[in-house]
Structure 1
């Protein structure tokens, strides 16, 4: 699934979906050398941009997402639905249950 949108603000996640943006790895080493783009690994750390309202389970209980906008989280290396934004940016849509951990800084 790949869609070209103007910005992440135009995306409103539904149910228990969470919209995140991966934190970019440094393209420069500690000694000042620049790394080629293909050698920069994707980090598993992301920032939450938007959160859905939650859903109602089979017992009628409201289940709300465990994260909120602005949280730093750990996400799986693979999975989610990638969404391309204008300007070569990319955001990823995950279910709340797929997020591995919240990072307390």
Structure 2
């Protein structure tokens, strides 16, 4: 199954952060925070402006992005977890 976002929506796969430990303290997975960066999987066609013309999105599939901790809607498709954002919820693109 393919997931195609509509309008200015962006589908993102959350990237796992590298495990880090300080000294001999090991933090269990249940206590770790979810990473706030991901890879864009699919992008909608863009939203329409006041004149009805479509404005193309600034991000594209394959971009690594930063997003807010509580933004987006989480979903699962074919066993894979994804987050769907509006383009204006994205904080920045990692280059």
Higher strand share: 2
Corresponding position of 2:10: 18
Structure 1 length as normaliser, TM-score?
Answer: 0.77
Instruction: Extract unaligned runs of 5+ from structure 1.
Output: 1-8
1:56 corresponds to which of 40, 48, 58? 48
* CA distance in 2 between partners of 1:63 and 1:74 (Å): 22
* CA distance in 2 between partners of 1:25 and 1:84 (Å): 20
Structure 2 length as normaliser, TM-score?
Answer: 0.84
C-alpha RMSD of matched pairs (Å)? 2.1
Task: Confirm whether residue 98 of structure 1 aligns to residue 92 of structure 2.
Answer: no
* CA distance in 1 between partners of 2:61 and 2:23 (Å): 35
